[in-house]
Amino acid sequence: MCYAGCGILVHMVDGKPVKIEGDPDSPVNKGALCEKAMASLEYLYHPERLRSPLRRSGGRGGGHWEKISWHEALETVSEKLKRIKQESGPEAVAFIQGAAKGFQDTYLCRFANVFGSPNFVSQGYVCFLPRKFGSMLTLGFAPCPDFDFPPRCIIVWASHKPKITEYLKILEAKEKGAKLIVIDPRRTELVRRADKWLRVRPGADLALALGMINVIIEEELYDKTFVREWTVGFDKLKEHIRKYPLEKVEEITWVDRHIIEDAARMYATTRPGCIQMGNAFEHNINSFQTVRAISILKGLAGNLGVPGGEVFRLPLSITDRYAPELTLEHMLQEEKKRLRLGSENHFLPLYKHVQAPAVIRAMVKKKPYPVRGAYVQGANPILTYPNAKNTYKAFADLDFLVVSELFMTPTAALADIVLPSATYLEFDSIVYPPYYPIAQVQQKVAEVEECWSDFKIINELAGRMGLDKFFWDNERDFLDLILKSLNMDFDGFREIGALAGEKAFEHYRSDGFGTPSGRVELFSDRLKEWGFDPLPVYREPPETPYGDTDMARKYPLVLTSWKSEYYRHTGGRQIKSLRQLHPEPVVYIHPQTASSLGISEGDWVTVATKRGSIRQKAVFNEDIDARVVGVDYAWWFPERGAEEQYGWAESNINILTSDQPPFSRELGSANLRGILCKIEKEDPH
């Protein structure tokens, strides 16, 4: 449902959960909760929850199912996966992770490795990994903004609404006098409180970051002592940044040069400061290098390691979910690793997952070899992968598809076997998000019919496939292993409830930065050695007003999107309390643009790119650039039922996006925002 890691108190009556509220003692959320969390019991008891294993009867996608036992379901899955492995090799099965984002994903990755498949597919290439790797390769760590000090200047960049705790801390810092700069194409709630708003063209964030670096260097606003003692490559950066004069940056970004100058000066001179990064700029070819440029900004301003700046948090002693002893990566044969889909693109050596377009290509075009089967855990790729029509075809044509889910979804509706998985209230676990070193206990408080945790499903499946020696009789043994380094078992962790890594200010003074040079690498020799840009270079994404002027005449508007705060990607559309808050898919459009197209507020409109069109409801927004439209993300209609295939294509933004290169050179990030589109009033006939 979410992976922010907010602490929750569950009130029980006669052994049954009856009320949810925030845990004031949680180091993450301090008692605050969002609407998604408050809907937890609606998820748990929803009448449309999957409650028993299902086997498809009739044609794929026809909506006809028969209930079967767990024994029969797991025997079928085991038999089918083993047959594909025997006939086509283990690489012919893809293992696809989705919304869990926790140790359940580690379990699935472990299963894929011992099964022998190199094709573990995640959305990391457009979510979090650019931020993680861009920070690590520049700074040697992924810093956490120190909102507690508080900072004197905060930049919220490409984050429509940060996680609830961060949002509240930003407001608290603002009340104490912090300057607030917001970089976003839309006037968000934080923009209304901001000192500066940079309404950047969607997809042009890297150019903006380079423009701000230009101002800071040219006006010598950088921390000269820190740059001299703790960075490498400053002279090369200084020469490189001259390629981005503000006149050029203004043209690319649609942000007035004087606003760029003011924002850069405010950040560089109002110290300490921090930058809260969001997900949006990870959605194009410049994803990784945008994070590199923002990391360079942090270093130039001298905000690394200082109270109120960007701090290092000491890691917890528990085993990390990416740890080799948990993933068993060494069990995957080298010859199979070389078969990992997308490996011909030579992405960063740190990137070991498969990007979505690569697996879809192998499913549809059978290149470089066919993928015949897929195990999908809590994901809905038909809504979340680019080029949804191609994705639908890919899954519809598989020899075998198994999906573990809470509800029937458009993707699950194509499966041969659907497995009913558990909500977070139905199994014990350890919640350890990647954003900050805080681990909290998750305790089982309910049991709904035949719903199983993904831990239990994989344990049982591994036993039937002769892989049981790599797993455990129950998930508690796995959780005990995670806590072993603390000389503690899960029952002991239950008593503690939470662990938090301490802040380590100026940690680099004793050990240096975690880079080969021990310094902040403004110029990266590693990236140069690997064949990537050692300094951030802005490249115009495809299908933009400047990347394709001919297309811009036919598709004159720029598309962006925002994730609704009431939904987690495609999840929650069947939850009544959430659906009431955001009942229909809406496209935000400037009144001036709408008027020129004969569109009135509330009209249903078609939004089109060269790949297809969808329909959404027009909502006017005077603050958005008249050349930009904001399209609703991840829409489908559970109420339509299987006979209409849940309306998966009607309002699905990924009908409009492309799964074709160019991608980002480092991680294969697809171009999901900032692309050209057109809008027309829907013909009522």
Q: How far apart are CA 91 and CA 372, in angstroms?
A: 9
Instruction: Tell me the two tokens of residue 524.
Output: 């990266």
Residue with tokens 């998930």: 475
Element (H, E) at 179: strand 179-183
CB atoms within 10 A of CB 292: 31
Q: How far apart are CA 148 and CA 225, in angstroms?
A: 25
Kindly report the average pLDDT of the chain as a whole number: 96
Residues 55 and 76: beta-carbon distance below 8 Å: yes
Q: What is the pLDDT of residues 118-127, one digit of tens each?
A: 999 999 999 9
Instruction: Tell me the two tokens of residue 388.
Output: 């949804």
Residues 630 and 184: beta-carbon distance below 8 Å: no
Angle subtended at Cα 387 by Cα 605 and Cα 2, rounded to the nearest 5 degrees: 85
* 256-270: average pLDDT: 98
Q: How far apart are CA 193 and CA 206, in angstroms?
A: 24
pTM: 0.97
Q: What is the pLDDT of residues 165-177, one digit of tens each?
A: 889 999 999 999 9
> Using omega within 30 degrees of 0 as the cis cutoff, is the peptide bond preceding 370 cis?
no
Q: What is the pLDDT of residues 221-230, one digit of tens each?
A: 999 999 999 9
Share of the chain above pLDDT 90, in %: 94
Residues 329 and 321: beta-carbon distance below 8 Å: no
| Bridge partners, residue 520, by sequence | 231
Q: Report which of 248, 252, 267 is spatially closest to residue 154, judged by C-alpha positions.
A: 267
Task: Give strand ranges (E) for 457-611.
Answer: 498-500, 503-504, 520-521, 557-562, 586-589, 604-609
Task: Give strand ranges (E) for 536-662.
Answer: 557-562, 586-589, 604-609, 612-620, 628-632
SS3 track for 97-153? ECCCCCHHHHHHHHHHHHHCCCCEECCHHHCCHHHHHHHHHHHCCCCEECCCCCCCE
Angle subtended at Cα 20 by Cα 19 and Cα 24, rounded to the nearest 5 degrees: 130
Q: What is the pLDDT of residues 71-117, one digit of tens each?
A: 999 999 999 999 999 999 999 999 999 988 899 999 999 999 999 99
Task: Give strand ranges (E) for 551-611.
Answer: 557-562, 586-589, 604-609
Residues 402 and 62: beta-carbon distance below 8 Å: no
Residues 227 and 115: beta-carbon distance below 8 Å: no
SS3 track for 258-314? HHHHHHHHHHHHCCCEEEEECCHHHCCCCHHHHHHHHHHHHHHCCCECCCCCEEEEC
* 138-159: average pLDDT: 96
387-396, 431-440, 585-594: range with lowest mean pLDDT: 431-440
In this prediction, residue 216 carries a pLDDT of: 98
In this prediction, residue 433 carries a pLDDT of: 86
The side-by-side arrangement of strands in the sheet containing 429-431 is 429-431, 438-442, 498-500
pLDDT of 382 > 90? The answer is: yes
Residues 631 and 559: beta-carbon distance below 8 Å: yes
Helix (H, G, I), strand (E, B) or coil at 402: strand
Residues 124 and 96: beta-carbon distance below 8 Å: no
CATH, range 549-681: 2.40.40.20
| Distance of alpha carbon 39 from the chain centroid | 22
Contacts of residue 453, defined as CB under 8 A and 6 or more positions apart, other chains included, come to 104, 421, 422, 426, 427, 429, 475
pLDDT of 650 > 80? The answer is: yes
- Per 3-state DSSP, the chain is made up of helix, strand and coil in percentages (nearest 5) of 40, 20, 45
Q: How confident is the model at residue 656 (pLDDT cuts 50, 70, 90)?
A: very high
Q: How confident is the model at residue 319 (pLDDT cuts 50, 70, 90)?
A: very high
Overall CATH class of domain 144-311: alpha beta
Q: Report which of 525, 539, 524 is spatially closest to residue 206, judged by C-alpha positions.
A: 539
Q: How far apart are CA 494 and CA 498, in angstroms?
A: 8
Instruction: Tell me the two tokens of residue 177.
Output: 């006098």
In this prediction, residue 385 carries a pLDDT of: 98
CATH, range 47-126+336-500: 3.40.50.740
Q: Please report, for the chain, the start and end positions of each structural domain, with discontinuous segments joined by +.
A: 47-126+336-500, 144-311, 549-681
Q: What is the pLDDT of residues 323-381, one digit of tens each?
A: 999 999 999 999 999 999 999 999 999 999 999 999 999 999 999 999 999 999 999 99
pLDDT of 434 > 90? The answer is: no
Q: What is the pLDDT of residues 10-61, one digit of tens each?
A: 999 999 999 999 999 999 999 999 999 999 999 999 999 999 999 999 999 9
pLDDT of 678 > 90? The answer is: yes
Q: How far apart are CA 151 and CA 311, in angstroms?
A: 11
Q: How confident is the model at residue 679 (pLDDT cuts 50, 70, 90)?
A: very high
| Bridge partners, residue 65, by sequence | 56
The dihedral sign for the CA sequence 236, 156, 178, 250 = positive
Q: How confident is the model at residue 661 (pLDDT cuts 50, 70, 90)?
A: very high
| Bridge partners, residue 21, by sequence | 9
Q: How far apart are CA 407 and CA 65, in angstroms?
A: 14
Kindly state the DSSP code that residue 515 receives in the 8-state scheme: S
Give φ, ψ of 198 to 5 degrees: -105, 105
Q: Report which of 555, 552, 551, 584 is spatially closest to residue 567, judged by C-alpha positions.
A: 584
pLDDT of 162 > 80? The answer is: no
Q: What is the pLDDT of residues 502-554, one digit of tens each?
A: 999 999 999 999 999 999 999 999 999 999 999 999 999 999 999 999 999 99
* Longest distance between any two alpha carbons in the chain, whole Å: 71
